[in-house]
Chains A and B, each alone.
Chain A
């Protein structure tokens, strides 16, 4: 029973998933999400962190409207355009980089697109086909495509996974530059706590299956001002709160860093 109605604050994302289950090929019902409840104000970056396979992608798919088979409600901004970066770039191999982006955003201002390509260092690849790109570049194209539609909500599913750390760090910076210049609500899914702490205005820690939010931590320090020390202490704080919430000693919960 899904249901989407306009929210009170038109920019706020409101997620209340009571239950989501899959029926496996063997006929067994597996419950993936239970009481997954959270909200995110307009203009903020929220990051969902949890162990792999816990249901993060499922949550994102429900929010994106790709899966209507769940109990609960998801309220997206009333006239919100949606931008999604999937885990795989999902580009059309038979269209050039530029055509891939223009296809979803036919009304986009050429000057804005040029800036977008420029910030993501794609200018020289506009006429290339996705098969000619590295994974890092293809990810950038997927990011450019999602931003080209001028989204009100941006959903990213492990956007930097399987890239080397230096490249991931660069892409994270580019993402932050692009997102901070607009008013859009961003939700990122990752298993990388470090990434979460660097990017988020709010971090949501997920439990194992059936997943729900166990800890929600706002990070008031502006992204650009976060020092290595800040990041370490926020991570320690996350581990402590996770320990308090689940009753596990913090020696175990500090493993959260290796999720």
Chain B
């Protein structure tokens, strides 16, 4: 209910702001909505959304998998942490744009370069989050697993990953939002399709309606993913926690 109210207030504020600023700078919500419908009818919207989403998911999966592995290693092995830490700081502070341009220069304007650039941008955040989680792993449970001689994969699945779940959820949440922002830049700079490419064209034509239409459509998709996928997964992962009143 509160969420709905906040949505209504947002649209009302947008409408008023659009009246004040003029259609040219800020088109009214209804104008944007009708553009979304028109783009959807022609199929262009869905094609571009699908292309962008595919890139988001591939980069997301790669960054989460590699980041979790590296983060665990750095959190558990002192030497790995010492060796990896400077790299991590460099990657964390390297601007996304630099990574993207270098990837395109070195690997050409290809799909691989695009996805790699996005993955490398997200990787250090995942590593930092998971490393924090790995440092906080319960030593008592480690010892328990050791004396009962649990095989490695069982330790990972039943002892380690459940402890990392909150850290993985944080990394996934911030990861999804970060990645889709970077994917748009990558598409703008070197891809012939996707939401970022469309927004680039709209920018050249000063078509604010189109920019907003694509942005809104994509935000809706990400919101749906969060509600339909991320939140149920989180609930499932924390079902063992005693309910608080």
Residues of A within 8 A of B242 (CB): 129, 131-132
B148 touches A104 (CB 8 A): yes
Q: Indicate if A211 sits at the interface (CB-CB under 8 A).
A: no
Q: Does A74 lie at the interface of the complex (its beta carbon under 8 Å from any beta carbon of B)?
A: no
Measured CB to CB, the nearest residue on chain B to A66 is B143
B141, B154, B158, B241: the one within 8 Å of A90 (CB):
B141
Our pick among B143, B146, B240 for the contact of A93 (Cβ within 8 Å) is B240
Complex: how many Å from CA A235 to CA B140?
A: 34
Q: Which of B127-168 contact A (CB under 8 A)?
A: 140-141, 143-144, 146-150, 154, 158-159, 162
Q: A88-B140, A90-B141, A103-B158 are in contact. Are A65 and B147 (CB under 8 A)?
A: yes
Which residues of A have CB within 8 Å of B148? 82-84, 104, 145, 149
Does A86 lie within 8 Å of B144, measured CB to CB?
Answer: yes
Tell me the complex Cα distance, A65–B146, Å. Answer: 9
Which B residues lie within 8 Å of A92 (CB)? 141, 158-159, 162
Question: Is A178 interfacial (CB-CB < 8 Å)?
Answer: no
CA distance A151 to B162 in the complex (A): 27
The listed residue (B143, B150, B158) touching A95 by CB distance below 8 A is: B158
Among A57-95, those with CB < 8 Å from B are 64-66, 82-84, 86, 88, 90, 92-95
- Once the chains are docked, how many angstroms separate the CA of A148 from the CA of B245? 35
- Bound together, the chains give a CA A134 to CA B150 distance in angstroms of 26
Question: B residues within 8 A CB of A149?
Answer: 148
Chain A's nearest CB lies how many Å from the CB of B36?
42
Q: Using Cβ atoms and an 8 Å threshold, which residues of chain B touch A65?
A: 146-147
A227 to B6 alpha-carbon distance, docked (Å): 75
Question: CB distance B240 to A131 under 8 Å?
Answer: yes
Nearest-Cβ distance from residue B65 to partner chain A, whole angstroms: 22
B233 to chain A, nearest CB (A): 14
Contact partner, B144, options A90, A94, A129, A131, Cβ 8 Å: A90
**Cβ of B147 and Cβ of A94 under 8 Å apart?**
no
**Which residues does chain A contribute within 8 Å of B150, judged by CB atoms?**
103-104
Give the nearest-CB partner of B147 in chain A: A84
Chain B stretch 78-129: residues in CB contact (< 8 A) with chain A = none
- CB-CB < 8 A to A132: which residues of B? 242
Contact A86 B140 (CB under 8 A): yes
- Give, as a whole number of angstroms, the nearest-CB distance from A184 to chain B: 15
Chain B residue nearest to A106 in the complex (CB): B154
Output the nearest chain B residue to A87 by Cβ-Cβ distance: B140
CB pair A94 B154 closer than 8 Å: no
Q: Which residue of A lies closest to B148 (CB)?
A: A104
| Chain B neighbourhood of A131, CB < 8 A | 240-242
> Considering the chains assembled together, what is the distance between the CA atoms of A84 and B150 in angstroms?
13
B154 near A103 with CB under 8 A, answer yes
Chain B min CB distance to A189 (Å): 15
- A94 close to B162 (CB less than 8 A): yes
- Is B147 a contact partner of A82 (Cβ separation < 8 A)? yes
Residues of A within 8 A of B143 (CB): 66, 86, 90
Task: Tell me whether B147 and A95 are in contact (CB under 8 A).
Answer: no
A193 CB, nearest partner CB in chain B, Å: 27
Q: When chains A and B are docked, how far (Å) is the Cα of A65 from the Cα of B144? A: 11
User: Chain A, 92-131, contact with B by CB distance < 8 Å: what is the 0/1 string?
Assistant: 1111000000011000000000000000000000000101
Bound Cα distance A90, B145 (Å): 10
The answer to whether A129 and B240 have CB atoms under 8 Å apart is yes
Measured CB to CB, the nearest residue on chain A to B242 is A131
Chain A residues contacting B146 (CB-CB under 8 Å) are 65-66
Which residue of A84, A95, A104, A145 is within 8 Å of B240 (Cβ)? A95
Shortest CB distance A178–B (Å):
17
A residues in contact with B158, CB < 8 Å: 92, 95, 103
Write the chain A residue with the least CB distance to B163: A94
- Closest residue of chain B to A65, judged by CB? B147
Given contacts A92-B159, A103-B158, A104-B148, 5 further A-B contacts (CB under 8 A): A65-B147, A82-B147, A82-B148, A93-B240, A131-B242
**Interface positions of A (Cβ within 8 A of B):** 64-66, 82-84, 86, 88, 90, 92-95, 103-104, 129, 131-132, 145, 149
By Cβ-Cβ distance, the 10 closest A-B pairs, closest first, are A104-B148, A94-B162, A94-B240, A84-B147, A90-B144, A129-B240, A131-B242, A90-B140, A64-B147, A66-B143
Q: Offer 18 A-B interface pairs, CB within 8 angstroms, sorted by A.
A: A65-B146, A65-B147, A66-B146, A66-B147, A82-B148, A82-B149, A83-B148, A84-B144, A84-B147, A86-B140, A86-B143, A88-B140, A90-B141, A90-B143, A90-B144, A94-B240, A95-B158, A145-B148
